[in-house]
Amino acid sequence: MSQVYLAAKLPAITTEILKKQQLDFSVYSGTGLISKQELLANVKDAEYLVTALSTKVDKEVIDHAPKLKLITNFGAGFNNIDINYAKEKGIVVTNTPLVSTNSVAEVTVGLILALSHRIVEGDAQMRKEGFPGWAPLYFLGHEIAGKTLGIVGLGNIGQEVARKAAALSMKVQYWQPHQKSDPEERSLGVNYVSFAELAQTSDFISLHAPQTSANYHQFDQAVFNQMKSTAAIINVARGPIIDEVALRDALQNKQIAGAALDVYEHEPAVTAGLADMKNVILTPHIGNATVEARAAMGKIVATNIALVQAGQTAKYVVNQ
């Protein structure tokens, strides 16, 4: 069996690095996402496992791989891996942070613009019913200049979203459990507010926090009740931060005006009813789906394998 098992097809740079390091590897060759049975069958003798965010690595998988030294996750998140159990077994777990920052921030701003100017809705209109002709009150949207963006989670991606939003003349406020320093806030042009104030005063709320037990269903019916009826929510972080049934109800009851989701509570499934709404944009987890970002991620996972194989410390360890 191979030293390295890649549980998904990855950018070419990944295998190029592994070949250069003369590491024996095999790659999942099936279509769609790898099944648990296939994963179990291929990790038995693996020393290194490369996984995608969609691949769950639980205790059963870890116990099935007694030689495993490193699980390197192809993604900034790592909630698909039981990192604490891996640590108990002496297995290092890494992710690929930072390189996704710009791509995810660009997608976030794109979704805000698309919601505001009804771009996706307009495209559907043209393809189905056509264009009846220009009229003064036809298909009106809103400009984002002067609107307030509330960011939940001012990490690397949240900060880049703040910069891009400021360049588009938006007012930016944020909330997270710990306030940034005054110099950091001033450099970004952002204001720290309470969670309640952010919910009540933002025209757009954009989620950029990691998934934790504390923020499961952080956006529930009670929070949607506090939001402006003209507000929209954007989630490019983790699906379970939003109670999607509550979101659907809030949209149907016009408690809020719109939503754009790139991640889902029960991913890859979408909560029933959301896809039927014109004021909802749904994208298939494309936040970092660029040639540039994915190549950088592929380089990180392969380089980490090479480092550990050489007896060195891997970068971006998440279970130290």
Is 238 a known active-site residue? yes
Is 60 a known active-site residue? no
CA distances from 101 to 22, 159, 175, 286 (A): 31, 9, 19, 13
Residues 6+ apart with CB under 8 A from 299: 13, 14, 17
The one catalytic residue among 106, 185, 197, 267: 267
Residues 6+ apart with CB under 8 A from 130: none
One-letter amino acid identity for 11? P
Q: Among residues 252, 194, 200, 207, which one has the least CA distance to residue 222?
A: 200
Rounded Cα distance, 297 and 248, in Å: 34
Q: Among residues 174, 179, 166, which one has the least CA distance to residue 150?
A: 174
At 292, which helix (H) or strand (E)? helix 291-309
The one catalytic residue among 117, 163, 217, 285: 285
* Residue 223 β-bridge partners: none
Q: Among residues 55, 45, 48, which one has the least CA distance to residue 15?
A: 48
The one catalytic residue among 118, 238, 248, 294: 238
Is 163 a known active-site residue? no
Residues labelled as active-site residues: 238, 267, 285
